[in-house]
Amino acid sequence: GRVLDKRRLYMEAIRCDPDVSLGYFNLGHMLAADEEARLHDERVLDRKQLYVEAIRCDPENSSAHYNLGHALAAGEKVNLHDGRVLDKRQLYAEAIRLNPDSSNACYNLALELKAGETVQ
């Protein structure tokens, strides 16, 4: 039979139900910064693109917002499917809005801010 590993199983989950956030999120989480995954529909996505897909499927997914923010370089922005263009700070702020108890998002947003600087 076919050999199944973690990566293939996440990709299979995406193939079976491409509108469920978890497959994209978990596949993105396991990829290294320079890795890509070729999905069943021939799209080749890196981890940032996988997190964008996870957010498309579940706009309330705080962890996907946080991980996408963490994956972005300073000054880099990302286009979400709802038309928003967000940077690292805005993604951390959105993760906090969605889950006010996200200590990692609070900590990382604090690291991004200069003394006296605020974010909404």
Helices 21-30 and 62-71: angle between axes, nearest 10 degrees: 30
Inter-residue contact 117 to 79 (CB < 8 Å)? no
**Cα angle: 9, vertex 37, 72; to 5 degrees:** 115
In this predicted model, what pLDDT tens digit does every residue of 10-48 receive, in sequence order?
Answer: 999 999 999 999 999 999 999 999 999 999 999 999 999
Whole-prediction pTM: 0.93
In this predicted model, what pLDDT tens digit does every residue of 83-108 receive, in sequence order?
Answer: 999 999 999 999 999 999 999 999 99
Q: Report which residue type is found at 86.
A: L
Helices 103-112 and 88-98: angle between axes, nearest 10 degrees: 150
